[in-house]
Chain A
Amino acid sequence: MPLDLVCPAGNLMSLKAAVDHGADAVYMGFRDNTNARAFPGLNFDEAQAAEGLRYAHDRGRRVLLALNTYPQPDNWPRWTQAIDSAARLGMDAVIVADAGLMRYAVKNHPRLRLHLSVQGSATSYEAINFYREHYGIQRAVLPRVLSLPQVENVVKNTEVEIELFGFGGLCVMVEGRCLLSSYCTGESPNSAGVCSPAKAVQWKETPTGLESRLNGVLLDRYGKDEKAGYPTLCKGRFEVAGETYYAIEEPTSLNTLDLLPEMLAMGIAAIKIEGRQRSPAYVAQVTRVWRAAIDAVKQNADGFKAMPGWHAELNKLSEGQSHTLGAYHRPWK
């Protein structure tokens, strides 16, 4: 089916919220740095993953496991064990970025379905077809840097299913290759599993505003009524040549509700919602809105119009000041 709704789950309650509110598939991670949301207290141990799978499968939905960080030589077995666990548990697919892990999966669990993670940073059909030929990947999640016509060009030239991000926080989107935060923390998000490790983050109310710091480096200072954002280096405000502004990236959220007819027409297989770090309340709210929108566009693509109520509900949940169509809608290439 085109336009499958793929929703995030950081715990069992979120998984149930996603399934109950109409997700076609839910994606999760294990409780370690084998995935890119390695926050303390978040994610699933094997027993919880098994319970989540049972809950979803009983209701005809699928569960995907994110194994989207890059193993290092000294910890390689942790990632291969995660692949083994995924196969044993009966995950419907694993979302993988590292080619070595794909090779391991193909050799040891040939029936395990592979999705190429956004962290794999494949933006061209040539790259995606390479992964298809060598590892048999069935789906690729596209990095959030392509315009819609570029996405369409990819879709037309590959038999691999294409999944697009539809909603959630954005970053500088050098996905899978960003080392920015390691300059502050010494940890790369691609191997440690987070951009801003919680142990390195400080929040402090000061007379001049709410300050966020990463390992002592001032990221931002929010005025009294200013909306705050996640404490990541790429979304900080810095003084450059005497001016203080978002020197790298403004904190914004992606919201592509308005593009659903185009996405349906070009044969996008799935829409991904960002936010495994968010609560069951977020998952329930976002899933409800996107379920309604996807059902509406499938029923009548030509007459589709995003309801103002949907936008209002999604705006409330977002990080930063504004929503954007991201690169999908940019005129330049």
Chain B
Amino acid sequence: MPNLAVPVPVSRLVARLPAQPPSLVFCLLANRVLWPALLQLDWQPLVGRRYAIRVKDLGLTFRFKVTPRGFAADGGAPELSISASARDFALLMSRREDPDTLFFSRRLVSEGDTELGLVVKNLLDALDPDAVLRRLPQPLAYAARRLMAG
């Protein structure tokens, strides 16, 4: 009889999957694409804090914390929650819309620690888009550049 037991790390991973697959996928992607670019900046103030990003129209919530090694899914109570529609997040990420503009017009909602919110906003503003796009697979990077060019 072969040993069919699932290795412990894998079973632990699978056990977590049903509860938080979106957060896990988010962290996987963020670690690959965003983290190397963040390391060029003053990222330390992000560490040890819990975050939630809600994509309102898709009913998706990503919950995570930032560790010295990157993003990690985390179900704990967030210290900062940022909510917007998928379209507005895309406009923000492609630098076609200004976060304060979206905030004034109530399309972007930030709740929790205001200082942490400003740190996040200012870090994302300071990110070099090329440093992020370099980490994307070619077709995605191409699509993103098209989006940024309007």
| Chain A residues with a Cβ under 8 A of chain B | 10-14, 39-42, 198-199, 201-205, 210, 222, 224-229, 277-282, 284-285, 316-320
Contacts and interface: CB of A to CB of B under 8 A. Distances in A.
Given A41-B121, A202-B114, A203-B114, A282 B128 contact: no
A10 B115 contact: no
B122 A319 contact: no
14 contacts: A11-B125, A12-B128, A13-B126, A40-B45, A40-B119, A41-B123, A205-B111, A210-B109, A224-B106, A279-B99, A279-B100, A282-B98, A319-B100, A319-B104
A316 B101 contact: yes
B127 A13 contact: yes
B122 A10 contact: yes
Contacts of A318: 104
Interface residues of B, number: 30
B105 interface: yes
A11 B110 contact: no
Nearest to B94: A281
A32 B110 CA distance: 25
A278 B42 CA distance: 18
Contacts of B95: 279-281, 284
B54 to A, nearest CB: 12
Contacts of A13: 125-129
A60 B131 CA distance: 26
B111 A227 contact: no
Nearest to B43: A41
B122 A39 contact: yes
A40 B42 CA distance: 10
Given A10-B122, A40-B118, A41-B122, A279 B98 contact: yes
A281 B98 contact: yes
B96 A281 contact: yes
Contacts of B122: 10-11, 39-42
Q: Which of A11, A225, A281, A320 has the most C-beta atoms of chain B within 10 angstroms of its own C-beta?
A: A281
Interface of B, helix, strand, loop or mixed by DSSP: helix
Contacts of A210: 106, 109
Interface in B6-20: none
Contacts of A279: 95, 98-100, 121, 125
Interface string B118-150: 111111011111000000000000000000000
Contact of A281 (B42, B97, B118): B97
Nearest to A41: B122
Contacts of B111: 203-205
A40 B119 CA distance: 5
Given A11-B125, A41-B42, A41-B126, A198 B106 contact: no
A294 B137 CA distance: 41
Q: Which of A14, A224, A282 has the most C-beta atoms of chain B within 10 angstroms of its own C-beta?
A: A282
A317 B125 contact: no
A210 B106 CA distance: 9
Q: Which of A41, A278, A280, A317 has the most C-beta atoms of chain B within 10 angstroms of its own C-beta?
A: A41
B109 A205 contact: yes
A2 B42 CA distance: 38
Contacts of A319: 100, 104
Contacts of A14: 125
Interface in B64-84: none
Contact of A41 (B45, B97, B100, B103): B45
A285 B104 CA distance: 17
A249 B59 CA distance: 39
A111 B118 CA distance: 37
Nearest to B112: A203
Contacts of A11: 122, 125-126
Nearest to A42: B122
A78 B13 CA distance: 51
Nearest to A43: B122
B118 A39 contact: yes
A317 B105 CA distance: 9
